[in-house]
Amino acid sequence: MVPVRFVILHHTGFGRDHYDLMIEQSENLATWQLYHDLRELPQDSVEAIRLGDHRKFYLDYEGLVSGGRGDVRRVSSGTCEILHWSPQKCSVRLISESFNGFFELVLSHSDHWMLVRASGNSDPRGRV
């Protein structure tokens, strides 16, 4: 499996402050909005809101978002190993200078997603 890039941006000044987790997918970035910093989750699962795909431009961008939609600042970036990817579940390993962990993004019902930190931060496929 070939690692892809990811970025976590802190998005302020447009609605409630939040974090955008963006994972490279061919031409775009699959994007989820989180209300918790992924590096310091308060519990093992938190709500994630699936947004429309974003341009790869955001892998390296920090600053004002066009249309008066606030400001983004990178809090983490690195490589992402995609372990499983389907419309209902994405299992990934995120590797950066600030953290390294296994996570699942799971569509629980309708458009409601959850981000789940793998138990003990181990590989959700059962590998060590």
Q: Is 40 helix (H, G, I), strand (E, B) or coil?
A: helix
The pLDDT mean for the chain works out to 90
Dump pLDDT digits (tens) for 51-101: 999 999 999 999 999 998 999 999 999 999 999 999 999 999 999 998 899
- pLDDT for position 120: 52
Both structure tokens of 9: 């941006």
- pLDDT for position 1: 66
Asked if residues 55 and 28 have their Cβ atoms less than 8 Å apart, the reply is yes
Q: Does the pTM of the predicted model rise above 0.95?
A: no
